[in-house]
Amino acid sequence: MQPQVEFVFDVGSPYSYLAERALPGIVQAAGAQIVWRPVLLGAVIKTTGNHSPFEVPAKMRWVEQDIERCARALAVPFNRNPHFPVNTMVAMRIATGLLARRPDDFPAWVEAAFRAMWVEGRNLADPAELAAVIRNAGFDDRQLLALASEPAVKDLLRSATEEAIARGVFGAPTFFVGDQMFWGHDRLDQVARVLAPADSGRQS
């Protein structure tokens, strides 16, 4: 059976962006598969009593430097988003709706949304900005915004967020390999070790 990594994320999380860039190489090397788990990070933080770094100025200053260092280490583009923190609820509803209804289109949207947030510095909470990002990604903005407004899609994202919280998620990115939970993109080395085939260290 192909091993799986569940990736709990929100495009409003810069560390989720770094994980989205790094994770494909890890799963490819391990012959594994990503199971995408979009959630609303704001709801996770509020429900679990966690706090955003934005609420602690000293921590926020450190986080900004840390993210830039991590992006350089991964050789991926990164720019601070001047609108951060951004309400990504509609963007995440689009991700949820595509994952459920049009899974082939899901990767392109997630990549476009992450890029808009953490490379282009777009405000995905602004309806006009969001519509432009959707069009630039090659989608019909009216179709995707209609998808995001469907009660069934809203319920899917809500239930996915509640399920993640029930499993112990308190922030993003979070990864599950079986029953093991890993929090933070800087734990991807541990995810890789868990995914490594049992005989990978043996010599022939």
Q: Which residues are catalytic?
A: 13
Q: Give the H/E segment covering residue 9.
A: strand 4-9
Tokens of 152: 């069934």
Residues 6+ apart with CB under 8 A from 72: none
Alpha helices, H only, the chain: 14-30, 41-48, 57-74, 89-101, 106-118, 127-136, 141-149, 151-166, 188-195
